[in-house]
Amino acid sequence: MKHSTEPAALVRRLWRAAIDADEYTAAGIVHTALAEGVDEETLLLEVIAPVQEMVGVEWAADRISVAQEHAATAVNERIVASLAHRQGGGPRPAHRGRVTVSCVDGDWHAFPARLLAEVLSLRGWRVDYLGAQTPTPHMVAHLHLTNPDAVLLSGSIPTHLPAAHAAITACRAIGVPVLVGGRAFGPGGRWARRLGADRWAADARGAAAVLDAGVPRPVPATGRQAVDDLPHLADQEYTLVLQSRPRLVKHTLTELEDRFPALRGYGDEQRERTAEDLAHIVGFLATALYVDDADLFTTFLVWTADILQARHVPAHSLVAALDILADELHDFPRARRLTRLGASALGARPAASVLGPASESASGPESAPGAGSAPVPVPGAPS
């Protein structure tokens, strides 16, 4: 029986195989489609990437487990590798130039960067793919050795924006332009420009187009500080809130026990998960202070409330946590304002917006969260 090679049909079939952790069937679907004339870039961006998006959406809706998410992601990663190294494929000729593709330091979500690297390689670029959470000093050392035409920096989680800013500044300081992408940089790349990136791209094809158009090399500069790009950092609120995170989490957890006595009956694992959630809240609060944008914080809170509701956890506890944080942050006017805005956003939140069954959406929403025990963006987007 001959199956359709339309991307939507391939997505449905690959999804079933990936969620069943059936690597051999999944690989067969993709390689058969390749043999039947579907080009590799289409398979990467219109079949494999949407399936990976669905993995994140289904985890967010609590319809698949963390183990299923990990297994499906591993299947997708191995298929991408098999396409790159398929028998008879041979090395891809590089004639456009040389680029470095890397994830922001601390960001483990390498799948988008890997897809980007493969697409650029297909289009004739020599790609040095550095993978997940590359420490900025090591990336810069690599740039000194290779002198690429550009660095393409992928970020999935907004809390890594300060690290992204440091990487952007370091790369530009040695005259290498930086193109960034991924959900960490916000809708339309709003925080990419704020952090001094030379260019932003919404996806892998957009990144390829930017490179084709050419990105001028910046004039090397030394001594530039974060406050030069973000003058509001002079108030030190970001630094002080981030340094206070362990104390803020501990204090909030203790106060929550008084407001929600049921917390006192939590086991060690439940308390650990609650502390992790509070740490994420403070982390996103600090990052919103860094970029001076309330939307970063309020969007995260609304998403977190949806995730909690999908898991039958009362989301109103978030409002109580914000009230406690606001009281504790009485000496930090920007942070206190953000907690108030967060509580208002939660109060105005509509019914849970987690997507319906996977069959209703092939790719998921642009803001779809990803898989894991902690709230993080989906790793499937090819940006």
- 106 Rama sector, left if φ>0, alpha if ψ -120 to 50, beta otherwise: left
Amino acid at 153: L
Candidates 47, 83, 344, 155; CA nearest to 166 is: 155
Residues of the chain with pLDDT under 70: 1, 87-91, 351-383
Candidates 116, 179, 171, 168; CA nearest to 146 is: 171
Residues 271 and 131: their CA atoms lie apart, in Å, by 33
Backbone angles phi, psi at 200, to 5 degrees: -130, 145
Check if the beta carbon of residue 162 is closer than 8 Å to that of residue 226. yes
Q: What is residue 122's predicted lDDT score, i.e. its pLDDT?
A: 95
The sign of the dihedral angle between the CA atoms of 144, 147, 150, 154 is negative
User: Which structure tokens are listed for 236?
Assistant: 């030190």
Q: Quote the Cα angle for 128-130-133, to 5°.
A: 160
Candidates 250, 233, 94; CA nearest to 166 is: 233
Residues 49 and 38: their CA atoms lie apart, in Å, by 15
Check if the beta carbon of residue 310 is closer than 8 Å to that of residue 352. yes
Question: For 256-312, what is each residue's pLDDT tens digit?
Answer: 988 888 888 888 888 898 899 999 999 999 999 999 999 999 999 999 999 988 888
DSSP state letters, 306-374: HHHHHTT--THHHHHHHHHHHHHTTT-HHHHHHHHHHHHHHHT--S------GGG-SS--TT-B--SSS
Question: In sequence order, what are the residues at sequence separation of 6 or more whose Cβ sits closer than 8 angstroms to the Cβ of residue 271?
Answer: 253, 263
